[in-house]
Structure 1
Amino acid sequence: MRSSRASVVVLTSTGLHVRIEPIASHTFHVRMNQTGCFEEPSALARLGIVAPSPASDCWEMKMREEVMELITESASLRVDRRSGELSLYGSAGTLLTRQNRPPRSGCGTSAGPCGTSAGASDDGFETQFVLAAEERIYGLGDQHDTPLMKRGCKIAICFRSGKEVHAPVPLLLSSEGWGLLMDNDRRHEFDVGCSSPDVVRIRGRRGELAFYLFAGGSLAELLQKYTELTGPAALLPVWAYGLSFNCNQQAEARDMLEDALKFRREGIPCDMIGLEPTWMDRQFDYDGPVDWHPDRFYIPQWLPKGAHTFMGALGTAGFKLTLGLYLRDDGEAGKQLHLPEDWYEYLKPFVAQGVLGFNLCTHIPIREMANIPVAADDRSEDAESLPHSTVVSRSVREGFATQTGRRPMIYTPVGYTGIQKYAAVWSGGRSKAHLSVLGLGLSGIPHMAVDMELHTAAGIHCGFFQPWSKVNSWAYWRHPLLLDPELLLLFKTYARLRYQLLPYIYSAAHVAVRTGLPIARAMPLVFPDDPHAVVQQNQYMFGDALLVAAFTDQVYLPAGEWYDYWTGEKFTGPADISYHVPRHAGGPLFVRAGAIVPMWPDMEYANQRPADRLELHVYPGGMGEFTLYEDDGTTFGYQHGELAVTSIASRYERRVFAVELGPRVGRYPDMPESRTWEVVVHALDKPAAVKVDGKQWRETNGSFKKPPPASWSYHRKTGTLRLLVPDVFERQDSIGLEISLSGGRGRMSEQQRSQSRPNVVQRTVGELEKDIEVGLETGNTAKTLSALERWWSLRTAEAGSVEDVREHWLAMNGLLVRTAERKGRTLHEIAGGDPLLRSRFQPTDSAEDAYKSLTQIATRIIEYGKKQGDTYGIIRQATDIIMSEIDRELLLYAIADRLHLNSSYLSRIFKQEIGLSFSDYVLEKKMGRAKELLLAGSTVATAADQTGFKDASYFNRVFRKYWGVTPGGMRS
């Protein structure tokens, strides 16, 4: 045995040299070979994937018989000096993992600088670690047809493996608190409990056995240690987190511009337009310059730059252009890795013209590449250059940064460990695309996107809840404007939501860069102690607050309270639910109670307007916190402290919901000096009082375009409280909001909770009133009485006095009166000569009697309508169509035709039974729905789409005439 302050080398009885270097308090670098000659730097350090780190001085060595132990502050590693077997222990002395067989390793060098023969044999390496009974293994990159949890899988770290492999990463993360990264850049293989269920075996056909072994706690903590080892991920430009669109490979300049302008005409936000490698005049071989294709992308040489070019036109419309480049494919590793030093010079002219990124492609699609036949004795696979795309990406990123001082958008379909430092990763579709995203997130690569499955609602839903979103036409015609109307409307809804969420997503990206915790987080990362959560593959957390379920209607909600984003319904976990996806959505989306979600106003592209006004959506329940990260969005200034950080916290206790807005700490160029926070509190009944910094604010009706200062408004139909809070950069103290609750869900008795569905907390009062109204109008007795029962339970759960009960009784009677009047009748007419029912119109001191009177009146209204004969059934069918298709154009003749009626007859009986003409009734429902959407925070364009108006300007005129205020005014 020999040692230095940097490392220890042990010679085993089998002639194996084991070198151990503690490089951090939790990480050991282990190398083994037969020669004792350890080339420097090792494979990953030579490639710049692992930064050479100074040796750790904070460790000691102990000897006990045939065992040597290296001890650091957080871990210890024991070596059996006879066999070379290793055992890793945590800081508390707990065994984390161990080898159970002597490791085997080749010579590790091709020459003899240490006095060994240049012809020393190299028979590869092999080692294995014991797996505990319940141990779960994650990582190893993205490979098709493998689950997130890799135990039971055999995985080759290569691209040509008979499977579709996008980004093999030789990283293991264990639920038992240890991780391993192979220090290797050639093909090798992991057998994770496949051949032998209780061991993970690692083998390769060439080279020495080398790896980094680290101890750390949870999967999230292990990812952070991996990030410390390999370096942080590259932060993409803020616009790259929006929507990207790749044109068809046959597109010309005019086609590309038309594709881009379609997004603007239809009000669909989008930032990035990409071209396939067919944009150039010849195949790019990295050895010489290329130019634009002279026919398809013609640029006059006398004036090649400016707003008049196709790139200038794109920029004027807010788009950013990326160009496709084929990765070099010479078939020889040496040529692949040793690119010409000045090859980036060939890209400089395009960057100078305005190109902001590059798409690194493969000549052969991944699916076909994986199935290229290889002879059994062919060792070319061993020479396959795994880090090739990493080397190219690094060169482009560094060259672009030097030339422009800005961050480029580089994305590649293939990668290896370390690719996260230079590029994002993308791939084509797979049966469950989100597994690629989650698998790479568990492998230290946070920026992964899969081509959006554009022609299904579930594909759109999943496609927009990825770290970055990409629609790829490639050889096909995938443009949202080519979708059927229903899917197009859905796509618009998700695209606008994505852009509203950009400050939330960008903050999650900052967290990913700092800690390795990905934006899209597999359930084991967030809920490691919930045995039911860790096995969920079809759902994940998107940032801290949002739970996304993909390609499924079965959702597991972990412990705590959760809000259905689409309906506002509140659930209590742990619970398994069968989810019914609303028509205006593509999949389940839940918000964690206590969540704080910042949102931008509507924009056509990122940073279209200064971020001087943000919406802050908060969801009461327990404790919540969020850190908002902001920078200039394009440069590397954030690496040098040019960013602003705002800490926001919430708490919910003793019927008081409080939000604390911390000051902005730090600054960046062109940062707004002042800001307005539009705070939106969800799922509350009307509060008793609202205070800001201890001062009570007054209530307004919410119809003001510019609300009075120190005021708040409550919107009953959406169950949201809104208030505007001004903020300035110089502020040093936090702004405190306190909302005192007066009733609603927070006041339900335990008995009432136990009588409700076990996992569902009642809908808001406003939503239940809407259900009652719809039930009465459509003659649905069961729906009406069910909603009425839940409404009454909410209203009387903690009624403090008889007066409170009477007030609620009168409020519901008002709704019943309005319903009857719409049918052209009064309640007394409906009661007829029934003295008992007439007595029910008088208030009572008994809550039970009051409730009974309401159910009798509601039932009588429905029965009265049914007694009107066949016409009532007709009207019910018509109103059912109207209510279910409010987002479409509703014409009298079309509905009459569907009901096999004459349109004049339907018009006459509609007026007779409803009390309104058909067109007036449709308008009333559309305008009511539009108002609800706007007050809930929807954009004007969304409100128009979802109420069946194809022309937004026409919608504006109709809305203003109906409500006396513009849609924008209503929304403000």
Structure 2
Amino acid sequence: MSRKLQAGSASVFFRHSRGGIPVSSSRASVVVLTSSGLHVRIEPMAPHTFHVRMNRTGCFEEPSPLARLGVVVPSLAPVCWETKMREEEMGVSTDSASLRVDRSSGELSLYGEAGTLLTRQNRPPRAGCGTPASPGAAASVSDDGFETQFALAAEERIYGLGDQHGTPLMKRGCKIAICFRGGNEVHAPVPLLLSSEGWGLLMDTDRRHEFDVGCSSPDVVRIRGRRGELAFYLFAGGGLAGLLQKYMELTGPTALLPVWAYGLSFNCNQQTTARDMLEDALKFRREGIPCDMIGLEPTWMDRQFDYDAPVDWHPDRFYIPQWLPKGAHTFMGALRTAGFKLTLGLYLRDDEAGQQRNLPEDWYDYLKPFVAQGVLGFNLCTKIPVREMANIPVPADDSSDDAESLPHSTVVGRSIREGFAAQTGRRPMIYTPIGYTGIQKYAAVWSGGRSDAHLSVLGLGLSGIPHMAVDMELHTAAGIHCGFFQPWSKVNSWAYWRHPLLLDPELLRTFKSYARLRYRLLPYIYSAAHVAARTGLPIARAMPLVFPDDPHAVTLQNQYMFGDAFLVAAFTDRVYLPAGEWYDYWTGEKFAGPAEISYRVPKHAGGPLFVRSGAIVPMWPDMEYVGLQPADRLELHLYPGGAGEFALYEDDGITFGYLRGELTVSSIACRDDRRVFGVELGARVGRYPGMPDRRTWDVVVHALDKPAAVKVDGQAWRETNGSRKERPPASWSYHKKTGTLRMLVPDVVERPASLRLEIVRSGGRDVRRMSGRQRSQPKPNGSRRTAGELEKDIEVGLDTGSTAKALSALERWWSVRMAEAGSVVDVREHWLAMNGLFVRTAERKGRTLHEIAGGDPLLRSRFQPTDSAEDAFNSLVQIAARIIEYGKRQGDTYGIVRQATDIIKSEIDRELSLHAIADRLHLNSSYLSRKFKQEIGLSFSDYVLEKKMGLAKELLQAGSTVVTAAERTGFKDASYFNRVFRKYWGVTPGGMRSLE
């Protein structure tokens, strides 16, 4: 027998009886009473989600715990489902899944859309009495808690369950206590379990319980609780990302933070005063370090806030004259003028016995005066550090369950968010160190410094909490690297002194570089945050989320994807690159995956960072805080080698208008068929208050050789010289040394269709065929370097006397050039170009090529161009070898100069003086100066300046900021760098950066 039902239809009740087992049903649920006396209620919440409740009384209190807390939201769409009765079981089916219950034992089996078994209980569940039939009535059966277990497949992987110190991302083999006290250090216990076999489970309880995930018995996951009924949500189908989206549909969307909260936040020392706080803030501005949010510990108030009475600013530390408490003259007004947003610390309510009490309904009223003064967020704190809280034993009596109050911070976060929204119409920034399932709808989560900090971020991302940040480990480059590639970034002084300006100069440069990169990436990060809010897919994505079918990737814990484009490795020099092509962000080198590499981190970086081919990365211009400049000009960085898509989400960044549809979405897609790299710039769809009507896309295409043509909407654009000061319309430029193409593409709101960009690669005949002779080409080595980069390698090899480096780079350079050559004219052009490089090298040594050739008539003949590609290449090899041989014949003098130039090239980002390098080489500075001039043809200072200015120009034309270019070339003072650069090149750094 079967009966179709639809939620929202008229109430229908019916009763079946098979073998003495009664079954009852309503429009929303069906209840089975098993032969063992267990009442099993099944309610389809969505086509893929079932709510299961079991107890021994048949009385199911409404609403259930997570619904009462507002964690689970009722579905607005009706769910069509039907029941089917068989001999020993009853099934509840939707279009996407079915749940079958054994009418004798109460065991459940979950099936997917295709009828595939996803999971099953492999022993009868045990459940307590639940709620008595009427208030005050005693339960007829003693409440002995609940227990259930589900079978695990041999290769099944389990994720989720929140953040607990000392556990891996994959939880199989672990025992996880869903509590704060009496267990391991835990910030956010989330009773959400996600399986690689396509099913998920969320426990419906606010009491302490435990998951034993294949720890005691390797082939089962066991769930136990001391009190109450057994209740949970089961959802079916899809990979981990799909399961997270189903969880989000069940619980509601994640809170989108204000756009400025995705920048950098700084928490002051707990003993700070208003003057100290302003000094901390102004240090960021004086040093040009971007930062938006500045926070105070709970010591800002005149007494401890107990939620029952008002508090005020501390009269000594934060004095505000009562006759004029608001305005630009206050310390809060000064912060606003400098672009900072203030957050205040609040202790979560907790009495001396460790039992958290109910909150007064109107307690948010005590915060309203501070919000009216300009406070934009709150930091929820625990009086007892989480690390110590974990060591507090749980009492053996029954009151311990209620003392835990797992959802407490969720309730506080919800009250603040709703109160702040009603008062201001804006989104607050709320962040808490502890939370329970549902906290993601109201607040972000943070934790203090700990080993393997990134595992907390990734673990909560796999548990439905995408906004997790760990205090940045400020005193290591690796800690800075990881700290800036989190969903939100936080430097926390607390009881210490962790201001970036207290770092040593090397780390300070690293910190500045990462902070500026973070702010340039904000449109990319904010778009990923929109995706997280809507689908649950976190900003920082563990490898199993993105590469579930790669058996090597799913085991990795020290690397993750940051949005769609970036692969971040944290605290490791071993990197695994999944299938596809990958760009080293720091060096531009290209690698082919799958491959595992040993990575050497560049001096200016703190860890490996790769960009996948096909990536589309929008960037803002440099700014010190969000809102400093309008978003009417964006850079669009494109990485060829594969197909890619990106949706750019934009809104006003501060209000809840995005929930009402006040936002724009720009869809961008790229494709690459190896001959044409095409880009579709979709029109902006939607509107929001304050949006710019016009926009300019500064398109930057990476790792290309010079293209044959560039077209926009089918119209060919003309090439312009990259050194031109003004950018003509409908033009593009190519920067050989950086291997990047740049073009300005105007955009307007009213544009109805996509803009089409086509970069046509040079793909002529293989010139080697014209000579009738062939030369073997170098085999791919996992990376693909541009011709400009290879020219640098050739120069370094010639200058340092490294024959292997120079000739290897020369062979690869010739292969790249011949791949794009279409005639003998091209062969001669490339041959002449390389000879120009040889001439410059010889001149630096104070010689000419003919002097270096000496009396060798055969070599002199090599200075004449030839039509044969092979002969041309052979002549270049011989000339390069003679240059190196000549240098080596100069003896110790050339060796000394070579050591000096090596130091200059490797330490170009530092201040370089003749005396310092002479001391390092144990030489007299006058002697080194004389030999340097003799061999290089330039004075030491002129040579250093030439190298610094050359690198600065490359950086600026590749899109670097003026400040970054100054730092990367060893100038501490940006204004002095401006003067030197203008004198050398005849144009300001800003002017050079805007050149085509």
Letter in 1 for 2:35: S
- Of all paired residues, the percent bearing the same amino acid is 85
Structure 1 SS opposite 2:666: strand
Identify which of 840, 846, 863 aligns with 1:841: 863
Structure 1 SS opposite 2:555: coil
Structure 1 residues 735, 672: CA separation in 2 closer, same or farther (over 3 Å shift)? same
Identify which of 166, 177, 199 aligns with 2:187: 166
Q: Which stretch of structure 1 is more off in the superposition, 569-578 or 316-325?
A: 569-578
The residue aligned with 1:289 is 310
Decide whether the 8 Å contact of 1:699 with 1:713 is kept in 2.
yes
The residue aligned with 1:82 is 104
Letter in 2 for 1:826: T
Superposition map of 1:540-555 within 5 A: 540-555=560-575
The residue aligned with 1:24 is 46
Structure 1 residues 678, 910: CA separation in 2 closer, same or farther (over 3 Å shift)? same
Structure 1 residues 690, 726: CA separation in 2 closer, same or farther (over 3 Å shift)? same
1:197 aligns with 2:218: yes
Structure 1 residues 54, 918: CA separation in 2 closer, same or farther (over 3 Å shift)? closer
Letter in 1 for 2:533: V
The residue aligned with 1:306 is 327
1:601-654 deviations in whole A, cap 9, x for unaligned? 000001211100000001112211110000000000000010011011111115
1:931-963 deviations in whole A, cap 9, x for unaligned? 111111110000001111111111001101111
1:810 aligns with 2:832: yes
Question: CA–CA distance in 1 between the matches of 2:432 and 2:351?
Answer: 18
1:271-300 deviations in whole A, cap 9, x for unaligned? 000001111111111011111110011111
The residue aligned with 2:294 is 273
Question: CA–CA distance in 2 between the matches of 1:752 and 1:300?
Answer: 84
Question: CA–CA distance in 1 between the matches of 2:107 and 2:398?
Answer: 32
1:893-945 deviations in whole A, cap 9, x for unaligned? 11111111111111111111100011100000000111111111110000001
1:126 aligns with 2:142: no
Question: CA–CA distance in 1 between the matches of 2:104 and 2:649?
Answer: 53
Identify which of 891, 895, 905 aligns with 2:913: 891
1:927 aligns with 2:980: no
Letter in 2 for 1:165: V
Q: What is the TM-score of this pair, normalised by structure 1?
A: 0.98
Letter in 2 for 1:764: T
Decide whether the 8 Å contact of 1:160 with 1:381 is kept in 2.
no
Question: CA–CA distance in 1 between the matches of 2:486 and 2:640?
Answer: 26
Structure 2 SS opposite 1:40: coil
Decide whether the 8 Å contact of 2:717 with 2:731 is kept in 1.
yes
1:326-358 deviations in whole A, cap 9, x for unaligned? 00112679853x201110011111111110000
Decide whether the 8 Å contact of 1:745 with 1:764 is kept in 2.
no
State the Cα distance separating 1:803 from its structure 2 match: 2.6
Structure 2 SS opposite 1:30: strand
The residue aligned with 2:791 is 769
Superposition map of 1:902-941 within 5 A: 902-941=924-963
1:518-568 deviations in whole A, cap 9, x for unaligned? 001111111111111111111111111111111111111111111111111
Decide whether the 8 Å contact of 1:685 with 1:744 is kept in 2.
no
Letter in 2 for 1:803: V
Decide whether the 8 Å contact of 2:292 with 2:341 is kept in 1.
yes
1:132-177 deviations in whole A, cap 9, x for unaligned? 1111110000001111110111000001143110000000111111
State the Cα distance separating 1:792 from its structure 2 match: 1.5
State the Cα distance separating 1:693 from its structure 2 match: 1.1
The residue aligned with 2:344 is 323
Q: How many residues align?
A: 968
Letter in 2 for 1:329: D
Structure 1 residues 590, 54: CA separation in 2 closer, same or farther (over 3 Å shift)? closer
The residue aligned with 2:979 is 957
The residue aligned with 1:408 is 428
1:420 aligns with 2:443: no
The residue aligned with 2:598 is 578
State the Cα distance separating 1:459 from its structure 2 match: 0.7
Question: CA–CA distance in 1 between the matches of 2:550 and 2:346?
Answer: 44
Letter in 2 for 1:413: P
Question: CA–CA distance in 1 between the matches of 2:611 and 2:472?
Answer: 23
Identify which of 821, 824, 828 aligns with 2:843: 821
Structure 1 residues 878, 93: CA separation in 2 closer, same or farther (over 3 Å shift)? same
Question: CA–CA distance in 2 between the matches of 1:363 and 1:431?
Answer: 22
Question: CA–CA distance in 1 between the matches of 2:523 and 2:101?
Answer: 49
The residue aligned with 1:506 is 526
Structure 1 residues 436, 400: CA separation in 2 closer, same or farther (over 3 Å shift)? same
Decide whether the 8 Å contact of 2:491 with 2:498 is kept in 1.
yes
Decide whether the 8 Å contact of 2:129 with 2:139 is kept in 1.
no
The residue aligned with 2:779 is 756
Letter in 2 for 1:711: S
Letter in 1 for 2:779: S
Question: CA–CA distance in 1 between the matches of 2:347 and 2:776?
Answer: 60
Superposition map of 1:156-305 within 5 A: 156-305=177-326
Decide whether the 8 Å contact of 1:437 with 1:466 is kept in 2.
yes
The residue aligned with 1:530 is 550
Letter in 1 for 2:786: T
Structure 1 residues 744, 190: CA separation in 2 closer, same or farther (over 3 Å shift)? farther
Decide whether the 8 Å contact of 1:493 with 1:942 is kept in 2.
yes
The residue aligned with 1:48 is 70
Q: Which stretch of structure 1 is more off in the superposition, 867-876 or 188-197?
A: 867-876
Letter in 2 for 1:277: P
Question: CA–CA distance in 1 between the matches of 2:709 and 2:647?
Answer: 27
Q: Which stretch of structure 1 is more off in the superposition, 356-365 or 428-437?
A: 428-437
Decide whether the 8 Å contact of 2:193 with 2:200 is kept in 1.
yes
Decide whether the 8 Å contact of 1:713 with 1:721 is kept in 2.
yes
Q: Which stretch of structure 1 is more off in the superposition, 608-617 or 768-777?
A: 768-777
Letter in 1 for 2:895: G
Q: CA RMSD in A?
A: 1.9
Decide whether the 8 Å contact of 1:563 with 1:571 is kept in 2.
yes
Structure 1 residues 54, 239: CA separation in 2 closer, same or farther (over 3 Å shift)? closer
Structure 1 SS opposite 2:403: coil
Decide whether the 8 Å contact of 2:97 with 2:111 is kept in 1.
yes
The residue aligned with 1:589 is 609
Structure 1 SS opposite 2:895: helix
Question: CA–CA distance in 1 between the matches of 2:212 and 2:837?
Answer: 67
State the Cα distance separating 1:55 from its structure 2 match: 8.7
Structure 1 residues 952, 745: CA separation in 2 closer, same or farther (over 3 Å shift)? farther
State the Cα distance separating 1:805 from its structure 2 match: 2.2
Q: What is the TM-score of this pair, normalised by structure 2?
A: 0.95
1:466-513 deviations in whole A, cap 9, x for unaligned? 000001111111111111111111111100000000000000000001
Structure 1 residues 170, 433: CA separation in 2 closer, same or farther (over 3 Å shift)? same
Decide whether the 8 Å contact of 1:661 with 1:735 is kept in 2.
yes
Decide whether the 8 Å contact of 1:934 with 1:970 is kept in 2.
yes
Structure 2 SS opposite 1:894: helix
1:794 aligns with 2:816: yes
Question: CA–CA distance in 1 between the matches of 2:744 and 2:704?
Answer: 17
Structure 1 residues 204, 782: CA separation in 2 closer, same or farther (over 3 Å shift)? same
Structure 1 residues 98, 753: CA separation in 2 closer, same or farther (over 3 Å shift)? farther
State the Cα distance separating 1:824 from its structure 2 match: 0.9
Identify which of 646, 650, 654 aligns with 1:626: 646
Structure 1 SS opposite 2:579: strand
Decide whether the 8 Å contact of 1:820 with 1:827 is kept in 2.
yes
Question: CA–CA distance in 2 between the matches of 1:55 and 1:505?
Answer: 31
The residue aligned with 2:625 is 605
The residue aligned with 1:879 is 901
Question: CA–CA distance in 1 between the matches of 2:908 and 2:354?
Answer: 61
Structure 1 residues 664, 848: CA separation in 2 closer, same or farther (over 3 Å shift)? same
1:637 aligns with 2:660: no
1:811-852 deviations in whole A, cap 9, x for unaligned? 111101111011110000001111121122122233233222
Question: CA–CA distance in 1 between the matches of 2:667 and 2:423?
Answer: 35
Decide whether the 8 Å contact of 2:767 with 2:821 is kept in 1.
no
The residue aligned with 2:4 is none
The residue aligned with 1:690 is 710
